[in-house]
Amino acid sequence: MVYFGSSADHTVRALDVGSGEQRWVFYTEGPVRFAPVLYHDRLFAVSDDGHLYCLRASDGTLVWKRRLAPGSGRCLGNDQMVSKWPCRSGVLVEGDRLYATAGMWSGDGVILYCMNADTGEDIWKNDTTGPRWMLLPHGSGFGGVSPQGYLALYKETLYVAAGRSAPAIFDAGTGRLLFHEIGLGYKAHYPGGSWIMAAHDWIMFKRQHNYKDADVKTTEYRIGGNAEGIILYNYRSGDPEIALVGGRVVGAAVGNDLVLGGVGSVIRINAQELREAYKNHKQQKAQKGEPKYYDPVPLAKWNTDAGRVYTLTIAGDKVIAGGQGTLTLMDVRSGEKLWQKPVEGSVRGLSVSEGRFIATTTTGHIYCFGEGASDSAKVVSHRPSVPACTAESTAQAIDELGVTEGYCLMLGAGDGSLLVDLLKRTGLTVYCLEPDAEKRARIRGLLDEAEMLGTRAQVHGGSFDALPYAPYCGNCILWGGRLGSEAAGVDVKGLYRSLRPWGGVAYEYGNKSSALASRSALIGGGVPENEVADGSFGTVVKRGPLPGAGEWTRAHANPGNTSSSGDDVVKPPLGILWWGGVGPERIVSRHWRAPVPLFSKGHMFIQGQHDIIGNIITDGDRVYCVKGLTCYALDAKTGKTVREYAHTLTPEQREEARRLIPLHGVLTQKAESGKYELRNPSVVWEFLGMAGNRMIGTLGYDAANLKHCGMAIPNQSRFIFAYDKATGEKAWEVRLERTVMPTAIVSDDQNLYFIDRTDEWTYQAMRRRKDYKNFFSKLKAVRLSDGKMVWTNDNLNPKRKALLLSRGVIVATENFSDDQADMNAGLSAFSAADGKLLWERGPGRYTTSRRGGPVRKVFIVGDTLYTPEAVDLRTGKDRLVCKDPLTGEPSPFQLSGQNFCGTVSAGNHILAYRSTGLGFKSLDEDSPWYWLSEKRTSCWISMLPAGGMLLAPEGSSTCVCSFNYKTSLALIPVDRQESWGLYLRGSELGQGVGSWWKGGEKIVGRPANFSQLRLNLNAPGDHYDTTDGGKSLAWPQVTASGKNFIVVPVQGTDAAAGFRFNSDFTPIPGTARPWIYSSGLTGEIKLEILGTEEKDYRVILHFMEPEQVGKGGRVFDVLINSKTVLSRLDIVGETGASNRALVKEVTGVGPCKTVELSLRRVSGKPPLLCGVEVIAE
């Protein structure tokens, strides 16, 4: 038989290998993305539903299944409802051991399993693969193992493919992590790919192609000859050894040789000859990065053209190459092409057995090749059978529901009629929760016959009293007595939680007589009474806006350019809400700084290169975008044009345009270099704003073809004009004395404020000559109603070119992306009422010099201006909003991490920015700095704290950096223990600082004056304590030495053995802080806690027994300053069981500068300690 899994219909199927007829089908509850594995008479498969299935191979009967995911939660991933911890590594069986993974986002937790293949029982389990400090592309930060791709096993070493990143290496016998660095080889190789292979003492995987900034395409990227290849690491240590180029990106091993393919040709080379040839090549070749590039073609035993190849396998004396529309058979000894057959689609899967081989393609076809003429092949297909629409009541319910697109959750299938009719009458994707197993099987069969299973609908097992679905995922929810889900048995809080705000509908399909009880249950469960109405079959809930959610409706959030959404919901810790949606193939290249994504009233708007051209803004009901000299108002839900605002140039403006279009100054130099090009320049509607009932615009030239917009001087205009939003008629136009930049325009409900200044080209020439005679810069205010002048301020620093406005205060600062020489311009604050100066501050750390020019880090949250130091908005005085982790003294806010090339965005409680990947920090809790390393943002603003979420749309188009995924995603606040980050002292980290790769030096503790020191032993990072606002620091320190890291004042046994597990997955009774006890050091350890002054201390010690030992199984003494303070401590003897917290407090320590803490074994297992708190009395 032929066994295969389907990501389309969520099934595992068996076909007769001779006829292609289906023998049996098994339904899972999520996409099956990997081929099943045959083990004796059993078949193993994993699914995105988070389960491992063991089936009888002969008939598909379920023998047993096991949920590998640590929880039952489901969310939307790649447009499918999947487990929050999908199984993305397939199944690997070796002997009687089975390996699999659950989870793909390290922050939410990833588990690697080794199980007995016969029983499904654990042999070992590793749930601590992330996060941890590591090398990331462009720097360092917290990351973890993020499985995506088949597992591999070689010489007791297990390899976990990690999407676009390098694989992680584990000891197969113990599960211990041996090696994993996401950013390894960064600029030299861009390593990573879901295809991996281990052979000849190498682990091999793809080198990413080196994109150039380019217009995006939806077609497949064509590999360049030297741009892509395979990189070879040492199979055990992970040391990079060889980097191959030439476009060959897949391979197979045969004897002592490798067969490699990709583009151009398939070649066979000897592994030992490759090693020897590469040694000589490395000595001769001078290249950036290690290892050096090498093209293996000169070593080829044979070289056969097979076209584009995606997969290779070797069967006996044959090489089978799956390609782009072809399948090729070659002789493995000579390379002779025996035949090449056409197929539909690209071959991505190959399997060989008993003289036949199976090929699967991207079009969904399965081909079986064997004996016989190729034109005599039998074609096996399926004709869908769609049930007819049924009861009149279902049509009425669907009409009243009024939701026809998006995702529908159904609580109960009833007789199946409503589900079928929904699929036929609407475009909804339906997920039905049904407790009855027989009913689930019957309806899945109907959906399968109709070819709607998976792509349009799925039936999940579970109960109504604990709904597993993520918040906000349902555009509509159907429930009620006719579906088997009466109000008394439904998790009403979960129902409302899963309903989409801003218009989601929960429709009760029951009996009218139950409506009163249902209304009472809904309101009692937290549904606002004004959102509950009556329908024909029960209650109808239409959910309103999410309370406290903020919006991002302009490039810098709002008409005041504050870069802050006002969102009162989103704050750390954060977890995945959804991922997928728009990918890189339609997004503007990350260097070109596309208009910022927007969010309003439940919708996010993203500019694609070929979808919306020009700047975009929104008021929630409409999206406004410009093309040429016309602004288009589009319906926010449909995208249809509602109104046009066409600007006609006056003769004076045409003359001004003629003056603006020629290239000047820096721009001319960039264009003349040949790297940047401006084709067919024309005048366009440049600045797009909306204030009150006015649409605001300025004129500029079309720089859409200027490659790398960050290098361009911002467009400047001598005219500001306004159109009536309702009628489309021009309301007024103002001719300036000089020019205005788009970043120098802000507004409130009454006035428009802007800087009228000498054009930038002239100013730069003045600066170079150091002659500012005739320089002109004024801050002005005009009425929105008629454009009449309100006030003017004539005294403005020439370097302050951008404006922010909030709470009646206008702040003038350097531009958002400006010239290096102007990066420290200082700040001025003015009253919006009369333009009078309120305060000034001199140069500070307001910008960061990065690719494309300095990037501005100024934003406003409430009445605090972050520069990024925090100052009072009205007075300009410093605000000490943080506390030093050691001394507890108030300290200034500093923007830390790897900030690189993106600007900041904020909500009321969170700051988000690019820190290699996604970086964020709490603004109202003194939290550490956090990372999400699996994806990157764009080189501009592309993270929005809005709608109660942290939205991170795809921003890595054309990027080759080895982040795991290219996708869009949303994060929401979660109740999590494993929220690890790092407290930093100082501003930006140097690139790659703190990485342990290539022998980073340990941080050596030194004395410090501390008032309270909390140590979390063997922890992966620092942790904020929500119970009392304390800060726990990891020791041993998780980073190598480097500038701006806090040096923990501790020396001691930092090489001691330790333990660690995930406290979100393993409950620890007796504590509100289980994360303290999920790690610890074992052995007769000694710690010296180094102060600078004689003090009296109180010491709090944290213990937890992680192993299954009885009373007396681990007994030890605790000594402080050579005095026994805890004698014959027996953790289990005091707690009564393992995995329970134990706290001991020792007072009267000191006076002393140094607190010496040591553990002394008495009997049983070695001593252990989880955490220490040293508090000055």
Domain with CATH 2.130.10.10 in the chain: 574-973
Q: Is the pLDDT of residue 184 over 90?
A: no
At residue 189 the predicted structure's pLDDT band, cuts being 50, 70 and 90, is: low
Question: Which has more confidence, 709 or 877?
Answer: 877
Q: Phi then psi for 610, rounded to 5 degrees?
A: -110, 15
DSSP state of 156: T
Q: Is the pLDDT of residue 678 over 80?
A: no
Instruction: Give the pLDDT confidence of 404-417 residue by residue, as tens digits.
Output: 999 999 999 998 88
Q: Which pTM does this prediction carry? A: 0.95
DSSP H helical segments within 105-258, as ranges?
Answer: 186-189
Instruction: Give the pLDDT confidence of 910-963 residue by residue, as tens digits.
Output: 999 888 889 999 998 889 999 999 998 888 788 999 999 999 998 888 788 889
C-alpha–C-alpha distance, residues 840 and 843, integer Å: 10
Determine the 3-state secondary structure of 321 from DSSP: strand
C-alpha–C-alpha distance, residues 823 and 819, integer Å: 7
Report yes or no: 779 and 792 within 8 Å, Cβ to Cβ. yes
Question: Which has more confidence, 537 or 371?
Answer: 537
Write the DSSP assignment of 45-78 as a string of letters.
Answer: EE-TTSEEEEEETTT--EEEEEE-SSS--EEEET
Report yes or no: 670 and 711 within 8 Å, Cβ to Cβ. yes
Q: Is the pLDDT of residue 611 over 70?
A: no
Average pLDDT, integer, range 1075-1100: 96
Q: Is the pLDDT of residue 803 over 80?
A: yes
Question: Which has more confidence, 386 or 48?
Answer: 48
Q: Which of 52-56, 854-858, 923-927 is predicted most confidently? A: 52-56
Confidence at residue 889, expressed as pLDDT on a 0 to 100 scale: 87
Q: Is the pLDDT of residue 227 over 90?
A: no
Average pLDDT, integer, range 872-876: 96
C-alpha–C-alpha distance, residues 1141 and 1171, integer Å: 11
> Under CATH, which number does the domain 392-542 receive?
3.40.50.150
**Can you give the length of the chain in residues?**
1177
> Under CATH, which number does the domain 574-973 receive?
2.130.10.10
DSSP state of 481: G
Report yes or no: 172 and 163 within 8 Å, Cβ to Cβ. no
At residue 135 the predicted structure's pLDDT band, cuts being 50, 70 and 90, is: confident
Place of tokens 């991922």: 579
Q: Is the pLDDT of residue 706 over 60?
A: no
C-alpha–C-alpha distance, residues 850 and 1027, integer Å: 39
Confidence at residue 392, expressed as pLDDT on a 0 to 100 scale: 77
Report yes or no: 796 and 757 within 8 Å, Cβ to Cβ. yes
Please count the CA atoms within 13 angstroms of the CA of 913 that sit on its side-chain side: 27
At residue 670 the predicted structure's pLDDT band, cuts being 50, 70 and 90, is: very low
DSSP H helical segments within 219-319, as ranges?
Answer: 271-284
What is the distance of C-alpha 527 from the center of its chain?
31
Structure tokens at 303: 């070289």
Q: Is the pLDDT of residue 383 over 80?
A: no
Average pLDDT, integer, range 1131-1146: 97
What's the farthest any 2 CA atoms get from each other in the chain? Answer: 96
C-alpha–C-alpha distance, residues 53 and 675, integer Å: 55
C-alpha–C-alpha distance, residues 656 and 298, integer Å: 62
Cis peptide before 1036 (omega within 30 of 0): yes
Taking Cα atoms as reference points, which of 972, 1108, 984, 1102 lies closest to residue 1038?
A: 984
At residue 676 the predicted structure's pLDDT band, cuts being 50, 70 and 90, is: very low
At residue 881 the predicted structure's pLDDT band, cuts being 50, 70 and 90, is: confident
Task: Give the least confident one: 593-602, 1045-1054, 1092-1101.
Answer: 593-602
Q: Phi then psi for 947, rounded to 5 degrees?
A: 65, 20
Residues in Cβ contact with 92 at an 8 Å cutoff, skipping those fewer than 6 apart:
37, 98, 99, 100, 150, 151, 152, 153, 158
Confidence at residue 1029, expressed as pLDDT on a 0 to 100 scale: 85
The identity of residue 354, as a single letter, is: E
C-alpha–C-alpha distance, residues 569 and 546, integer Å: 9
Mean pLDDT of the chain: 89
Confidence at residue 185, expressed as pLDDT on a 0 to 100 scale: 56
C-alpha–C-alpha distance, residues 937 and 959, integer Å: 10
Name beta bridge partners: 347: 361
Confidence at residue 852, expressed as pLDDT on a 0 to 100 scale: 43
Residues in Cβ contact with 326 at an 8 Å cutoff, skipping those fewer than 6 apart:
306, 307, 340, 341, 342, 343, 347
Q: Give the torsion sign (CA, 664, 665, 669, 670).
A: negative
Confidence at residue 98, expressed as pLDDT on a 0 to 100 scale: 98
Cβ neighbour number for residue 647 with a 10 Å cutoff: 22
> Under CATH, which number does the domain 1012-1176 receive?
2.60.120.430
DSSP state of 814: S
Average pLDDT, integer, range 625-638: 90
Domain with CATH 2.60.120.430 in the chain: 1012-1176
Report yes or no: 409 and 478 within 8 Å, Cβ to Cβ. yes
* Residue 863 backbone class (left: φ over 0; alpha: ψ -120 to 50; beta: rest): alpha
Domain with CATH 3.40.50.150 in the chain: 392-542
Average pLDDT, integer, range 701-713: 47
Determine the 3-state secondary structure of 705 from DSSP: coil
At residue 291 the predicted structure's pLDDT band, cuts being 50, 70 and 90, is: low
C-alpha–C-alpha distance, residues 343 and 350, integer Å: 13
Cβ neighbour number for residue 564 with a 10 Å cutoff: 29
C-alpha–C-alpha distance, residues 68 and 1145, integer Å: 39
